[in-house]
Amino acid sequence: MRPQKAEKTDEVQGLPRITKQRRAIFAALQGDASHPTAEEVYLRVKEELPHISLATVYRNLKLLARQGLIREISTGEGPNRYDFRTHEHAHFQCDRCGRILDVEMGLPRELTRDLERTGFRVRSHELVLHGLCPDCGAASSAD
């Protein structure tokens, strides 16, 4: 029996393939706590794959995020950032140095429970704190 080419109604696209670009982009994030931007990932991957295109990096970061293999973070300040840590945690962005630091915390269970009880379906959430990181806070008071 022939394998049913693309459905007509639903936009089901085939399974993602493992290209060297995709693999390298994913690898570039692993163990990196800096929450790099697409541009930064691009520069990094380019050392291994000099011909890779920035568009490919964007496409794959989006895809990996959709697959849940990485996390996409928008801080409301500058470009999106990417995180290999996919567990539930919040982020702190320093107003001064711009760095993004992990804040280990989840939402109070009761909150989402209350929302669900009101008819909402909570799929995800993003919490970003702003202020001064320990380094910059100290620097500015010593100023």
Applying CB under 7 A, which of residues 8, 10, 14, 30 lies at the interface with DNA? 14
Q: Supply the DSSP symbol for 45.
A: H
* 89-118 binders of its own copies (CB under 8 A): 92, 95, 103, 105, 107-108, 111-112, 115, 118
CA 135 to chain centre: 24
94 binds Zn ion (CB under 5 A): yes
Beta-ladder partners of 100: 93
Among 83, 84, 94, 133, binds Mn ion (CB under 5 A): 83
Residues from 59 through 98 that contact DNA (CB under 7 A): 59-60, 62, 74, 78-80
In the complex, least distance from residue 46 CB atom to DNA, rounded to whole angstroms: 9
- Rounded Cα distance between 34 and 102, Å, is 9
Q: Are 66 and 103 in contact (CB under 8 A)?
A: no
